[in-house]
Amino acid sequence: MTLDLLREHGTPLARQVFTWKDLVREPISKLDDEAFTRVRLIVGHAVEQAAVRFQHAAVRFGAEHRLLLADIRRVEHHQATLLRWLQPADQSPLECSIAVAQAAVEVGAQIARCEPDPYVAQALRLGLLEDFDHLYRLAALMDRLEGRDANAILQSYTDIRPGRPTAAQHRAPEDDLRRWYDRYATAPATKLHARIAGAIAYQARDHYLDVGPTFADPVARQLYAELASVKEQHVTQCESLLDPAETWLERWLLQEAAEVYLYWGCLSSESNPRVRAVWDRFLAYELEHLRIVRELFEKTEMRDASEVVPLCFSEPLQFAGERAFIREVLAAEADLGAAGTEFVPRDAESRATQSYRAQLERDGSPSETVAAGYRWSPGTELADPRIRDASVLPPLKATGS
């Protein structure tokens, strides 16, 4: 199964239009639709938002192309809107957070497993185990605040268990920077994986920042602040993997290729017919964006675009549960940290990180507090025999007439 990026034809830019009714469609169901339908929507929205951010910044470097950037950016914005508005309308903010964390874990696990560069793969696995623990802390928060089981959202695709403890994830800024890949020697897949991982991290960061202040519970508010801080670290890590010598047109070309790669995977694995039609439509849009930017790149830089992006994709993202891989990584690497650009055992972390972490946690750790005494079991309160067994309830008193 391949996708030829030269022969496939996209939808002409002039026909990439929307109406308000088209943008705001019937949302998916949080219970009836497969969890990975929601995962795809979350990751698609994340990558579209990354495209919009990049194209706004690119105007500073390519002002002569500002009209083209504005045209494509408007379409990207509307694509992001449509995907976001397909999210279940009855999801609570905490349920949304658990869904965002699941998307980061599952897609992060797949690209880490498939990543050909060992160093970049290690960086992706570092972020994976940290996102995995975030999911556990959010599940504990749901149990604490609502007495509900996060598995209703996860649908048993993703384990609910501790990863690398969130309290141990806080690193000094210099320990979140990584060696960047070589733009000439690195496989195209690595360049795309770094961008997708960065987009997911950025979205999770913004989500935690937006949702956290809406809680009244003080531990919940602190937990969201802590998770947002770690996701800022993940954004820093992903951005530092990109070769700074890449030109802005080269980066635009790679951004469009990442969107094509992602949408092809979404289309190949989607189970909901309505949403599958969206992926088919958006893949055609992104193929056209890629064609336009490829021609601009080759005309401006006098280079063949195949030096930067592949001529075809041979295998789409699968969007399937990665439980076995995650458990394997958890068993082998839970105690890893980072010092400078290298990955080291936690007891070898830098003095700067140890001081930074001690300062943050001087008054306690919200991620430790929220999970104190928590151990996930199916059904939460419904599985507790003291509650399930009606015989333990006091008999009702007879009321007089």
Give the count of beta carbons closer than 10 Å to the beta carbon of residue 16.
22
How many alpha carbons fall within 13 Å on the CB side of residue 112?
23
Cα 24–chain centre separation: 23
Confidence at residue 314, expressed as pLDDT on a 0 to 100 scale = 80
Is 396 inside any structural domain? no
Cα 126–chain centre separation: 14
Full residue range of the structural domain in which residue 180 is found: 3-18+30-383
Q: Which of 56-70, 112-126, 276-290 has the lowest mean pLDDT?
A: 56-70
Confidence at residue 392, expressed as pLDDT on a 0 to 100 scale = 46
Which of 234, 237, 174, 175 is CA-nearest to residue 203? 234
Confidence tier at 5 by pLDDT (50, 70, 90):
confident
Is the model's pLDDT at 393 over the cut of 50? no
Average pLDDT over residues 345-353: 96
Average pLDDT over residues 72-101: 97
Greatest Cα pair distance, the chain, in angstroms, is 94
- Residues 288-345: tens digit of each pLDDT: 999 999 999 999 999 999 999 988 888 899 899 999 999 999 999 999 999 999 999 9
Is the model's pLDDT at 80 over the cut of 60? yes
> pTM (2 decimals)?
0.92
Is 366 inside any structural domain? yes
Asked whether the beta carbons of 252 and 138 are under 8 A apart, the reply is: no
Is 368 inside any structural domain? yes
Is 25 inside any structural domain? no
> Beta-strand (E) ranges in 245-326?
312-313
The mean pLDDT of the chain is: 92
- Residues 153-209: tens digit of each pLDDT: 999 999 999 999 999 999 999 999 999 999 999 999 999 999 999 999 999 999 999
Which of 12, 276, 240 is CA-nearest to residue 123? 240
Is the model's pLDDT at 401 over the cut of 70? no
> Residue 157 and residue 101: Cα distance in Å, rounded?
13
- Residues 14-45: tens digit of each pLDDT: 999 999 999 999 999 998 999 999 999 999 99
Which of 294, 310, 329, 36 is CA-nearest to residue 155? 36
Confidence tier at 387 by pLDDT (50, 70, 90):
very low
Is 278 inside any structural domain? yes
Is the model's pLDDT at 391 over the cut of 70? no
> Residue 396 and residue 208: Cα distance in Å, rounded?
45
Residue 343, SS3?
strand
Is 35 inside any structural domain? yes
Characterize 95-129 residue by residue with b for buried, 16 or more Cβ atoms within 10 angstroms of its Cβ, and e for exposed. Answer: bbbbbbbbbbbbbbbbbbbebebebbbbbbbbbbb
Q: What's the structural domain count of the chain? A: 1
Asked whether the beta carbons of 167 and 204 are under 8 A apart, the reply is: no
Confidence at residue 319, expressed as pLDDT on a 0 to 100 scale = 92
Is 394 inside any structural domain? no
Confidence at residue 380, expressed as pLDDT on a 0 to 100 scale = 56
Which residues have C-beta within 8 Å of that of residue 61, sequence separation ≥ 6?
Answer: 248
Which of 132, 126, 131 is CA-nearest to residue 159? 132
Is 400 inside any structural domain? no
Is the model's pLDDT at 259 over the cut of 50? yes
Asked whether the beta carbons of 102 and 154 are under 8 A apart, the reply is: yes
Confidence at residue 323, expressed as pLDDT on a 0 to 100 scale = 95
Asked whether the beta carbons of 370 and 142 are under 8 A apart, the reply is: no
3-state secondary structure 97-152: HHHHHHHHHHHHHHHHHHCCCHHHHHHHHHHHHHHHHHHHHHHHHHHHHHCCCCHH
Confidence at residue 383, expressed as pLDDT on a 0 to 100 scale = 55
Strand (E) or helix (H) holding 227: helix 218-240
- Residues 39-78: tens digit of each pLDDT: 999 999 999 999 999 999 999 887 889 999 999 999 999 9
Confidence tier at 1 by pLDDT (50, 70, 90):
low
